[in-house]
Amino acid sequence: MYVQIITPEKTLFEGEVDSINLPGTDGRFHILNHHAAIVSSLKEGIIEVHTHTQEFQDYQNGNGKVQTSPLDDKILQFSIKGGVIEFNNNKAIVLAD
């Protein structure tokens, strides 16, 4: 699936990933390939992007808002204050603060 994480200042992340775990307003949820279409609000928390390689690690560490999970260096973590996600046709767009 293709994921974009966008803030008012810049695009934090974009690329092909295995899945994404998000802090929904009613609890965390996980989106995999071929998930049903969804639009949901997000609360303050951590977005986890599950990649299948480490190729994104060096590319993204320069922006100051991403780190890798201490449990798995293929999981990128982004802190957000809130936002929304739209997922449709294997494409996720996260608009985050």
CATH number at residue 65: 2.60.15.10
* Strand partners for 16: 2
Number of domains in the chain: 1
Q: What is the pLDDT of residues 26-57, one digit of tens each?
A: 999 999 999 999 999 999 999 999 987 656 55
Distance from chain centroid for Cα 15:
10
Q: How many other C-beta atoms are found inside a 10 Å radius of the C-beta of residue 78?
A: 21
Range of the domain at 22: 2-96
Q: What is the pLDDT of residues 10-28, one digit of tens each?
A: 888 888 999 999 999 999 9
| Pair 92, 32: CB distance under 8 Å | no
